[in-house]
Amino acid sequence: MFDLILVADWSATSGHTGRKPRKDAIWVCADLKGEQTVEYFPTRSLALAWIDDWLSRGYRTLVGFDFAMGYPAGFATTLTGRPDALAVWDWLAERIEDGPDNVNNRFAVAEQVNRAFPGVGPLWGRPASQLHPDLPERGSDRQDHGVDDRRTVDAFVPRAQSVLKLYTAGSVGSQSLVGLAALAHLRRRHPDLRVWPQETGFALPESGNLLVEIYPSLFEPAAHDFRDAGQVIATARALREAPAGWFTAPSVLPDTARVAAEEGWILGVLPPSSCFALPPGADWTPVDVALDTLRRDLTVVTGIEDVTIVEAAFRILARDVVAVRSNPPEANAAVDGWAFAHDGLRPGGIPMVDGRAAAGRPFEGIVPCGEAIRILTGAVIPKGADTVALQEDAMLADGLLHLKAVPRKGANTRRAGEDVCEGDPVLRAGGILRPTDVALAIAAGHGTLPVRRRLRVGVLSTGDEIVAPGEGGGIPDVNRPMLLAIVTGWDFDAVDLGRAPDEAGALAATLDAADVDAILTSGGASAGDEDHLSRLLRERGGLHHWRIAIKPGRPLALGHWNGTPLFGLPGNPVAAFTCAALFARPALFQMAGAGWRVPVGVTVPAAFSKSKKAGRREVLRARLRDGRAEIFRSEGSGLVSGLSWAEGFVELPDRAVEIAPGDLVRYIAFAELGIG
């Protein structure tokens, strides 16, 4: 998502902390595409200058600071007249003075804050030696200020301290007072730096730089002499792998917009799913939370086998591949012409050497200095020669070669190893081998490749009403043939598990007998009398998520049976197709050794109108015409004709949206999902 990640462990300490690295000072980690640099800074001004420099380099950047970027509800309104955390930032930036040697006036500014509140203001904590009558030394001395001690996010963070506490052990409030003023100035220098979620809401912008609040104690520190340095390293690594759900999951909160704008949030802290605009009493799991569970819990289950190079296309590479030969192995001619030593050229005709050099038939001798030899495309450059004249640029007369123009030295030759040198890495493990990758492996000297054994995926239909395709007297089994074809198209081994009746014992027996790595079922995942799958998973298997907040697609059962991952897809064909594409596909590829594969969407104008309530992600059958996304005439999940009509999905976010023609929407082509 981001090219560059900057993680800062901040400090509000007064005074220069010295040239020698130490704990409880400022440490910043820069992670550029996985390559990390960690730096110690004795002053805030030096740290900010370093961060400024990185932000000026043009990378898409995620910047994280480890202090609260907002205050509890009511704080901003009382102080600034606006329920907006960024208004507090600007208020502080006008008053905080922080010198180049870390000398600041934070306690005096804290007094100004408190004077804006009724009673004794909310901020507290100061050295006993400093006289600040409007800043209590102890929290118990405050009263009637009307602000809670903690923000909403603090309820979900172990050992979280109140941002209102400025001094004594464990206090974090001073970091925010000084830090927010600094961030306000930083944003003015970098207008493209947006603040999540205060400016963006609980969403992940598709472009631009982002400023976020972090909590390094969420992650085990990396090995380092200083714990603070280890924490910023570990946090940068975690943010490098951060799923989209970290940004969007807090949208399940009540009063989401206010929490985002006034209090902010800590990236990576996930509240329990709740408060979707869905039937009372129903506990719906957000899409990103379900996907994060799959990504976290599923591991590679396929073994490794060596296959011949001609069998390797579309298989998953199991180990990194390095070149065992250079390509080309020796310098050779790029054209038909004449080869000679450039430094040996003299005015007039060039004597010719008897013989020639051709591809597969090299010239065995040495070309004398000042002489030339006939050479054909692909032939090894003979010893003594380093340049080739194109045959159209020369002529033979009286046994001598006459050049129409003298080529530059080395012209029309291919250097040895120009493409790949022996020992170079050429292919990375986890890639799906394309025909072009196979070509590169061959050029690099390989005749076999280590690949992952194909994942075995069982497909099962459930329900007494289901009949085989072409038979009468029931509902034709659309899902099983469709899903078997999809799984085969993903280059997995599709295993037909047949149909199980609406009888718990028979369904359990079929699942017990399945000799596969993963199972896709359709039907029986709801809460009706004959919906046995979800009940069996709760009683005998492991049910991780059941009702997912997606349309079409609920209910969708995600769990395990005898340790085998099971995806209980809905019975309606459109919902089964949608959930297989969006949930099963990335999970199966991760199990197969290809990593978690997120489809790449494009932003296009809508050719439709749509009003959507908050609560569920909606996935519409769609196709592109004249660069605009049009959607199928109906959202009914039983209308199979819509699947044939569609060429992709339009994905609408969990929040409420109003779409009018011309508004931008996210479109995912079926080809991007490996379907069609």
Q: Where does the pLDDT of residue 466 fall: very low under 50, low under 70, confident under 90, or very high at 90 and above? A: confident
The confidence score (pLDDT) of residue 64 equals 97
The confidence score (pLDDT) of residue 179 equals 95
481 pLDDT more than 60? yes
81-90, 157-166, 458-467, 635-644: which is most confident: 81-90
The confidence score (pLDDT) of residue 526 equals 55
Torsion of CA 346, 350, 355, 360, to 10 degrees: 60
Q: Where does the pLDDT of residue 275 fall: very low under 50, low under 70, confident under 90, or very high at 90 and above? A: very low
> Left (φ > 0), alpha (ψ -120 to 50) or beta: where does 615 sit?
left
Quick one: how many helices (H) and strands (E) in the chain? 16, 34
The confidence score (pLDDT) of residue 13 equals 81
281 pLDDT more than 60? no
The confidence score (pLDDT) of residue 485 equals 97
Distances (CA, A) of 195 to 57, 62, 119, 558: 19, 10, 32, 34
Nearest one of 209, 428, 409 to 316, comparing CA atoms: 428
Task: Please answer whether residues 256 and 250 qualify as being in contact, where contact means their C-beta atoms are separated by less than 8 angstroms.
Answer: yes
Model confidence over 405-431: pLDDT tens digits? Answer: 899 999 999 999 999 999 999 999 999
The confidence score (pLDDT) of residue 277 equals 33
Q: Strand pairing of 372-375 and 617-625? A: unpaired
263 pLDDT more than 90? yes
> Left (φ > 0), alpha (ψ -120 to 50) or beta: where does 360 sit?
left
Radius of gyration, alpha carbons of the chain: 33
The confidence score (pLDDT) of residue 365 equals 94
Residue 85 or 252, more confident = 85
504 pLDDT more than 50? yes
The confidence score (pLDDT) of residue 531 equals 62
The confidence score (pLDDT) of residue 549 equals 87
DSSP assignment of 298-314: ------EEEEEGGG-TT
240-254, 415-429, 535-549: which is most confident: 415-429
Measured distance CA(321)–CA(67) in Å, rounded: 44
> Left (φ > 0), alpha (ψ -120 to 50) or beta: where does 495 sit?
beta
pTM: 0.58
The confidence score (pLDDT) of residue 158 equals 66
71 pLDDT more than 70? yes
CA angle (437, 439, 445) in 5-degree steps: 105
User: Edge-to-edge strand order for the sheet containing 350-357?
Assistant: 387-390, 337-340, 372-375, 350-357, 400-403, 394-397
The confidence score (pLDDT) of residue 272 equals 56
Q: What is the mean pLDDT of the chain?
A: 90
The confidence score (pLDDT) of residue 274 equals 31
Model confidence over 561-597: pLDDT tens digits? Answer: 888 999 999 889 999 999 999 999 999 999 999 999 9
Mean pLDDT of 246-263: 87
547 pLDDT more than 80? no
Rounded (10°) angle between helices 504-513 and 532-539:
60
Name the E strands within 509-663: 518-522, 542-545, 550-551, 557-561, 564-569, 602-605, 610-612, 617-625, 628-631, 648-652, 657-659
Q: Where does the pLDDT of residue 524 fall: very low under 50, low under 70, confident under 90, or very high at 90 and above? A: low
Task: Please answer whether residues 216 and 231 qualify as being in contact, where contact means their C-beta atoms are separated by less than 8 angstroms.
Answer: yes
Containing 507, the helix (H) or strand (E) segment is helix 504-513
Measured distance CA(491)–CA(239) in Å, rounded: 32
Structure tokens at 12: 């509000």
Pick the range with the lowest mean pLDDT from 279-283, 399-403, 626-630.
279-283
How much of the chain is helix, strand and coil, in % rounded to 5?
25, 25, 45
Q: Where does the pLDDT of residue 141 fall: very low under 50, low under 70, confident under 90, or very high at 90 and above? A: low
The confidence score (pLDDT) of residue 541 equals 60
Task: Please answer whether residues 219 and 231 qualify as being in contact, where contact means their C-beta atoms are separated by less than 8 angstroms.
Answer: yes
Mean pLDDT of 60-81: 95
Model confidence over 316-350: pLDDT tens digits? Answer: 999 999 999 999 999 999 999 999 999 999 888 99
639 pLDDT more than 90? no
Q: Where does the pLDDT of residue 237 fall: very low under 50, low under 70, confident under 90, or very high at 90 and above? A: very high
> Left (φ > 0), alpha (ψ -120 to 50) or beta: where does 523 sit?
left
% of the chain exceeding 70 in pLDDT = 95
Pick the range with the lowest mean pLDDT from 122-131, 185-194, 625-634.
122-131
**What 3-state class would DSSP assign to 189?**
helix
Structure tokens at 99: 């010198």
437 pLDDT more than 50? yes
Ramachandran angles phi, psi of 620, nearest 5°: -105, 140
Measured distance CA(449)–CA(319) in Å, rounded: 9
129 pLDDT more than 80? no
Model confidence over 206-232: pLDDT tens digits? Answer: 899 999 999 988 888 888 888 899 999
283 pLDDT more than 70? no
Measured distance CA(250)–CA(155) in Å, rounded: 13
Task: Please answer whether residues 298 and 564 qualify as being in contact, where contact means their C-beta atoms are separated by less than 8 angstroms.
Answer: no
Mean pLDDT of 122-141: 82
Contacts of 360 (CB under 8 A, 6+ apart): 378
The confidence score (pLDDT) of residue 324 equals 96
Looking up tokens 């306000």 gives 184
Measured distance CA(21)–CA(47) in Å, rounded: 13
353 pLDDT more than 60? yes
140 pLDDT more than 70? no
Residue type (1 letter), 588: L
Pick the range with the lowest mean pLDDT from 252-266, 298-312, 520-534, 660-674.
520-534
Mean pLDDT of 15-34: 88
